[in-house]
């Protein structure tokens, strides 16, 4: 990935994407001609913007699939690239994500046709009202409010989550915001919804790009690539009837969708949340980080406040969440976020995360969610041996890291897969 930037302070999207892709190729010590298919994600851009970005690096005539799945776009590209390799259709596939955003709240660009968010907006209006507040804030603020009302969760808990993000981001040279803030400063920031959310509890609009190369086990062996990390399980889910029938804002923002994806991953891998060492989850708002603790099984339902108060979400606790600083501090360029999460977790399992390193990290979970909706959960595992493992087929991945590019001819990362689930994709920002 490349360093993330504020809107107006970044390069145009073709340059950002090309930078990330070249870094991924350099990390793998591969030429662009090795890539057989490309899955390129972005939310705000015209059709075939993926080709425009890719052509900055090469024009080899390969299939290019443009991916738009709201905030889960980057992980959806990864999901599709993994499927292409696992199926045997290709040996090496690219997942690339980028976003060139504008300042301010997310919005729609097609006002002359039905919005994919009509039912979400209607349910939100019925449950929380406050039409004067931007919809994204109503979605996640309303979900946080539901937790507050059911479990007595104080606003301070969300402030503690945001402060934790800032402490983690202080050690991430690619993060947008690296200044450490306190819970008191979070609470004192401008109120977006009195008693429910302050400005610092929301992630900022961000520009950036990230890329990953995935390849088969045979390809990795032929090219002498490192096979020390694999994708052990992965799942994509979409909305169930509960999204609208439960009449609960937590369901509107994908609580059951995330819970189902995590359950499928745990079952496929034969592990549980208690086995995890590090997690990168979708903290577009501090409220969603808290809800995700429970959806992913990191703590019992209703136990998130205690989980935060006990420091179980950071170094020295049960599982380190968002060592990168997360979306709250690292930033959230929609199309790139999922692949930036992937980058962080690969670094953690490689042992190359520098001051952010989680000691002894062996299992890492990624959670990337987009309203509308789709959720991708991916489990990565550090392999004890780099000898070729037994079936099922393996997938190797190389991520983009312009800060510390690999100096060894064989640097890379192995991602091996178990059987996965099919994907259904839906667009939009959120």
| Residues annotated catalytic, as ranges | 71
Q: Report how far residue 143's alpha carbon sits from residue 162's, in angstroms, rounded to the nearest whole number.
A: 17
Buried-state track 70-92, b at ≥16 Cβ within 10 A, e below 16: bbbbbbbbbbbbbbbbbeeebbb
Query: What tokens were used for 429?
Result: 């920002």
**Whether the bond into 373 is cis, omega within 30 of 0:** yes
- In DSSP terms, 41 is beta-bridged to 67, 97
Q: Report how far residue 396's alpha carbon sits from residue 390's, in angstroms, rounded to the nearest whole number.
A: 15
- In DSSP terms, 69 is beta-bridged to 71
Order of strands, sheet of 363-370, starting from the edge strand that comes earlier in the sequence = 229-237, 374-382, 363-370, 278-280, 320-321
| Half-sphere exposure at residue 264, Cβ-oriented, CA atoms within 13 angstroms | 22
How does strand 394-399 pair with strand 208-216?
antiparallel
Cβ neighbourhood burial of 118 (10 Å; 0-12, 13-18, 19+): exposed
Closest by CA position to 69, among listed 299, 303, 249, 336: 336
Q: Report how far residue 99's alpha carbon sits from residue 167's, in angstroms, rounded to the nearest whole number.
A: 25
Query: What tokens were used for 229?
Result: 């990390």
Closest by CA position to 257, among listed 87, 126, 395, 71: 71
Buried-state track 312-342, b at ≥16 Cβ within 10 A, e below 16: bbbeeebbbbbbbbbbbbbbbbbbbbbbbbb
């Amino acid at each position: 990935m490349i360093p993330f930037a504020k809107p107006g302070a970044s390069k145009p999207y073709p340059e950002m994407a090309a930078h990330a892709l070249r870094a991924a190729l350099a990390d793998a010590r591969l030429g662009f001609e090795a890539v057989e298919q490309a899955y390129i994600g972005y939310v705000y851009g015209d059709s075939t913007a993926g080709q425009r970005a890719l052509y900055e690096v090469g024009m080899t005539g390969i299939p290019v699939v443009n991916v738009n799945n709201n905030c889960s776009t980057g992980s959806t590209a990864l999901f599709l690239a993994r499927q292409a390799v696992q199926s045997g259709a290709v040996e090496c596939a690219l997942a690339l994500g980028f976003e060139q955003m504008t300042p301010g709240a997310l919005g729609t660009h097609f006002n002359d046709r039905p919005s994919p968010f009509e039912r979400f907006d209607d349910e939100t209006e019925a449950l929380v009202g406050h039409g004067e507040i931007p919809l994204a804030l109503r979605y996640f603020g309303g979900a946080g409010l539901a937790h507050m009302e059911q479990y007595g969760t104080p606003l301070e808990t969300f402030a503690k989550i945001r402060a934790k993000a800032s402490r983690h981001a202080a050690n991430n040279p690619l993060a947008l915001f690296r200044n450490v803030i306190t819970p008191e400063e979070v609470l004192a920031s401008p109120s977006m919804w009195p008693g429910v959310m302050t400005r610092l509890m929301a992630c900022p609009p961000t520009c950036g790009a990230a890329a990953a190369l995935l390849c088969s086990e045979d390809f990795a062996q032929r090219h002498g690539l490192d096979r020390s990390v694999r994708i052990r399980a992965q799942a994509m889910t979409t909305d169930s009837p509960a999204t609208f029938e439960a009449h609960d804002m937590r369901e509107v923002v994908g609580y059951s969708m995330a819970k189902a994806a995590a359950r499928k991953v745990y079952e496929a891998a034969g592990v549980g949340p208690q086995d995890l060492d590090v997690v990168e989850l979708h903290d577009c708002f501090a409220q969603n980080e808290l809800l995700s603790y429970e959806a992913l099984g990191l703590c019992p339902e209703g136990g998130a406040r205690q989980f935060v108060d006990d420091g179980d979400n950071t170094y020295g606790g049960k599982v380190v969440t968002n060592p990168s600083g997360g979306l709250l501090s690292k930033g959230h360029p929609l199309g790139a976020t999922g692949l930036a999460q992937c980058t962080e977790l690969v670094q953690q399992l490689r042992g190359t995360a520098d001051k952010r390193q989680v000691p002894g990290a062996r299992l890492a979970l990624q959670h990337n969610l987009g309203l509308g909706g789709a959720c991708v959960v991916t489990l990565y595992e550090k392999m004890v041996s780099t000898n070729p493992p037994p079936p099922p087929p393996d997938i190797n991945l190389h991520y983009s890291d312009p800060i510390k590019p690999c100096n060894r001819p064989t640097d890379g990362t192995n991602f091996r897969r178990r059987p996965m689930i099919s994907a259904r994709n839906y667009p939009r920002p959120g």
